[in-house]
Structure 1
Amino acid sequence: MYIYLSFLVGLSFMGAFFSIASHGLPDRTPLIHFSPKPALVSVKKGKDSDETDEMSLRALVESRCQSLFTEFHPLWWLFNGHLQTIYCVLGDFSKNDPMWYHRKYIRLADGGTLGLDFAPAEDHDAKEDTPVIVVMHGLTGGSYEPYVRAILHRACAPVNKGGLGYRAVVINFRGCAGVPVTSPQLYSAGHTDDCRQAVFFISKLYPKAPLLGLGFSLGANVLTRYVAEEGKSCRLASLCALACPWDLEQNNQGLLSTFLGKHVYSKGMGGNLQNLLKRHAKSLQTNPDHQVAKAMALTLGLKNPTIEEFDDTFTRVAGGSRPHFPFATAHDYYRWGSSHYVVKDIRVPFLAINAADDPVVRYVPMDGGGNGFVVMELTPSGGHLGWFQAGDGYVDRWTTKPVLEWLKMTGEDIVPPKRQLRQLYVDDDGYLRQEGTAHLGCKEVEGGGIIDGNGGEEGMLQGL
């Protein structure tokens, strides 16, 4: 993997030289799409006012999220999508944006376990209506990911220190970031029930707080599907999706169509997933006759798999629960799990940011599904979860400022409409459940505590 990345760096520099020589400096103006009929939202007339005005989402974004309309100027030595992505994977961010969390483990109704990392780690003074950012990370990451910390470090800092003063909860997928695997199932880009149950738990803890979704890559796809499925009954007040993969089948084909896409990015992601599986092999082979145990054995036997080979052998079987899983092929799973075709169903303010030179996500549906709640932005460059620019003495991400502006706007300025949320209740076994979804439920279990969110997991590539 590292040999391929070194080779890629050389190609990137050579390609950039000829591109600049032939065409001059690149255009850095972002492309922003609003619906011809933007949704109307209720906006507070003043910070402490109970009076509201109706305003179009477009006009509100243009006045409150001005950073979205600024040019992104990449660092001179990270001048294309390959280099931005490589730096996201190999860069040293250990001293950037330090975060500590308080972890709670929740057991799901099917026996699985999620790790919820709360920030600030010691939460004493926040008001009960303080906005809560609900975060879902990328492919094999966790709350320790530098792209997560870049936003939460500022969002959770006190107002008197330049932050938003918000709370945040990172939902760590089954098996990720030290979370144990306690059932024969992992996760996938399309399965939303784990997210749904975590949101039960978070909304029960903070019943008066607006919940603001924030997703990265695979986590962005999950959250996009979740808010679309929930429609007008969504417990999240808004969502921001960064580097969402959208059409999984088309973007997978894009990866496999080039040498670098197949042998660097696709195999890098496939290898990361295989390493994650190795870590939890013992937990997944309790019953050797179970279909997941059999799929795991086949997957561990793959040599340097692409992400499609991993998904075709394992994710299509173990990436979620019935009635959808198992799928016959990875392509059936990709068609089902994509998010581009459900954007039309979203009924909360939604912002998506992608980069045009993202080597992982080549297809971005910039029409927003014709949905007035949807704002789509495509920056000319930035790579996959990169967007690195020069900061004040350190490497910063361009996306941080516009995302913070979006969170502040949706957390403080917009007054969410009254929604008909289904009732939550606790059953005789202590599981928190929701009316109408009796098969789902969760409860807190032992473990967790204060954790250092500034490291990573040994043997796993960050930034994916």
Structure 2
Amino acid sequence: MGSLFSLVALSFMGAFFSAASIGLPDKTPLIHFSPKPAVVTVRKSKNSNQVERQSLRTLVETKCKSLFTEFRPLWWLYKFSGHLQTMYCVFGDFSKNDHMWYDRKMLRLIDGGTLGLDFAPIDTSALNDDAPIVVVKHGLTGGSYEPYVRAILHRACAPVEAGGLGYRAVVVNFRGCAGVPITSPQLYSAGHTDDLRQALLYISKLYPKAPLLGLGFSLGANVMTRYLAEEGEKSRLQSACALACLTRPLEPWDLEQNNIGLLSSFLGKHVYSKGMGGNLLNLLKRHLHALQADPEHRVAKAIPLTLELKNPTLEKFDDTFTRVAGGSAPIFPFATAHDYYRYSSSHYVVKDIKVPFLAINAADDPVVRNVPMDGGGNGLVVMELTNSGGHLGWFQAGAGFVDRWTTKPVLEWLELVGEYLVPEMGNPAPLFVDDNGYIKESGRLQLGCKEIEGGGIINGNGGEAGTLQGL
């Protein structure tokens, strides 16, 4: 990792050279629509009761015009753009940008696990109960504090009169991330969707009139994609946007091939894969007590071998621990990491998504190596590929600061699906509260959640010691 720090100085040069991306070649993104785009129902104008049917392609072309604009990276991040953009995402100083504070709600799950849901804005006195809610899943070991999350939510949650969307947002932090405790012998993974499913029970019960708009980053994007496909017409999310979905899709979003791609280069193996593996190992060490509470549990038995790992790649960590602890039985444990990757990949399920879905990737993403552009033949899926941008980077020159190109297109998408789209999916299963206070839904009595003490106002502008941001 030492070679990385020699690049940090280059990142700080941005303070002196954020003027423009002058003289760079044409960077118009490639956008794929299905040959038969879906036709959806939309309002003729905001807050209108009059509706009409329009092609999703027409809507995107007219309401999300920034998707069709050039991405012109900062010139000092242009050469070897994918690596430098990613390095800046990891090592850049974003402490002065997009400040966010959250109201954390702690949820106890039926299996004894705990989720931390971070709601914004803090002051909701001016918001109606039916204001759209952006439901966020962050990357591999991040949380609501991640700069790529704040870049969008800071604007989405700002009042309309201040140039924002006037929406609510809630970040569903993975177990053990962003200061959320682990209280059961289970971690999380790319293929475990029940935690998101249970969080959505709580959000839907709290705000039954609000449209829920999914937004996923990296690993969180894969979880959200799989959730949508598994739920189909019963999805509680009425739309979703996936950024830098953590896969290497020779076919759409194939985790196994993504891992092979990562290990095929020096930087992929020794920087990105080991960086992600190290993040997960440090997360495990922070939660040893809870994960070892039952010495006979399969997860506790996997810990000694995991702790012996030295600077592991992501695959090595997954093969030793995630395949065992990344979800609940009977799906977990898997025999090998590759079995886990094959199960968790979303390349074969994207065709089953029943709500409008936008995916944005960068062609030079060093973590997500090759990106498909067929959308699984699904008319509700829009795929976009920029020439450069790295992994969750897309840095361009802003008005006196470094900004992300993706922020504006994503906000336009959220405005389209939050203000104009009229949901047409089937009704999700009814909710009820059982005798123990757990929110449940008919047909899935093994799942449920209830709010517990331990939440409150939190500062969402820091990070976690021992964890690299931006991954």
**Is the structural similarity TM-score above 0.5?**
yes
Report the equivalent of 1:176: 177
State the secondary structure of the residue aligned to 1:74. Answer: coil
CA distance in 2, matches of 1:10, 1:407: 35
Amino acid at match of 2:238: A
Q: Indicate if the aligned counterparts of 1:8 and 1:82 stay in contact, CA closer than 8 A.
A: no
Provide the C-alpha distance between the structure 2 equivalents of 1:180 and 1:289, rounded to a whole number of angstroms.
21
Q: Which residue of 2 aligns with 1:18?
A: none
> 2:376 is paired with a residue of what secondary structure?
helix
Q: Report Cα offsets for 1:423-464 as digits up to 9, x if no partner.
A: 111111110001111100000000110000000001110000
Q: Assess if the C-alpha contact under 8 Å between 1:30 and 1:71 holds in 2.
A: yes
Match of 1:442?
A: 449
The answer to whether the aligner puts 1:343 opposite 2:356 as a matched pair is no
Partners of 1:146 and 1:420 in 2: CA distance: 35
Q: Does the CA contact (< 8 Å) of 2:110 and 2:446 recur in 1?
A: yes
What residue in structure 1 maps to residue 17 of structure 2? none
The residue number in structure 1 matching 2:146 is: 145
Query: 1:363, CA displacement in angstroms?
Result: 2.4
The corresponding residue for 2:209 is: 208
1:366 pairs with 2:373: yes
Partner SS for 2:316:
helix
Matches within 5 A, 1:305-344: 305-344=312-351
**Shift in Å, 1:46:** 2.3
Give secondary structure in 1 for the equivalent of 2:46.
coil
Residue 288 of structure 1 aligns to which amino acid in structure 2?
P
Distance 1:165 1:116 in 2: 19
Q: Which residue is 2:238 aligned to?
A: 237
User: How far apart, CA to CA, are the structure 2 residues paired with 1:188 and 1:44?
Assistant: 38
Q: Aligned-pair distance for 1:122?
A: 2.2
**Conserved? CA contact 1:271–1:305, under 8 Å:** yes
Q: Where in structure 1 are there 5+ consecutive unaligned residues?
A: 13-23
SS at the partner of 1:77?
helix
The Cα of 1:27 is off from its aligned counterpart by: 4.1
Residue 410 of structure 1 corresponds to 417
Does residue 75 (structure 1) correspond to residue 84 (structure 2)? The answer is no
CA contact (8 A) 1:389 1:396 kept: yes
Check if 1:289 corresponds to 2:296: yes
Moved more, 419-428 or 184-193: 419-428
**1:63 corresponding residue in structure 2:** 62
Matched residue type, 1:97: D
Structure 2: state its 5+ residue gaps. Answer: 12-22, 247-252
Distance 1:379 1:9 in 2: 24
Structure 1 78/11 Cα, relative in aligned 2: closer, same or farther at 3 Å?
closer
**Residue 144 of structure 1 aligns to which amino acid in structure 2?**
Y
Report what 2:433 is aligned to: 426
* Partner SS, residue 415 of structure 1: coil
**Cα contact 1:145–1:462 (8 A) shared by 2:** yes
Separation in 2, partners of 1:149, 1:420: 31
Shift of 1:48: 2.9
Code of the aligned partner of 2:33: F
Residue 363 of structure 2 aligns with which residue?
356
Maintained 8 Å contact 2:355/2:425: no
CA deviation vs aligned residue, 1:35-63 (integer Å, no higher than 9, x gap) = 00000111112223211110000000000
The answer to whether structure 1 residue 218 and structure 2 residue 219 are counterparts is yes
Structure 2 residue identity aligned to 1:39: A
Contact 2:258–2:369 at 8 Å: present in 1 too? yes
Amino acid at match of 2:412: E
Aligned to 2:115: 114
RMSD: 1.5
Alpha-carbon offset, residue 10 of structure 1? 11
Quote the offset at 1:297 in angstroms.
Answer: 1.6
Kindly indicate whether the alpha-carbon contact (under 8 Å) linking 1:233 and 1:419 is maintained by their aligned counterparts in 2.
Answer: yes
Q: Distance in 2 between matches of 1:134 and 1:11?
A: 34
DSSP 3-state at the match of 1:194: helix
**TM-score of the superposition, structure 2-length normalised?**
0.94
Residues 183-222 of structure 1 deviation map (CA, whole Å, 9 limit, x = unaligned) = 0001001100000000010011110110000000000000
For the residues of structure 1 that align with 2:6 and 2:367, how far apart are their CA atoms? Answer: 17
Which shifted more, 108-117 or 119-128? 119-128
- In structure 1, what residue type is equivalent to 2:322? T
How far is 1:8 from its partner?
7.0
Instruction: Measure, in 1, the Cα distance between the counterparts of 2:241 and 2:425.
Output: 21
| 1:286 Cα deviation from its structure 2 partner | 1.3
Between the two proteins, the alignment pairs up a number of residues equal to 452
What code does the residue aligned with 1:94 have? S
Distance verdict in 2 for CA 1:328–1:250, change over 3 Å: same
Conserved? CA contact 2:8–2:88, under 8 Å? no
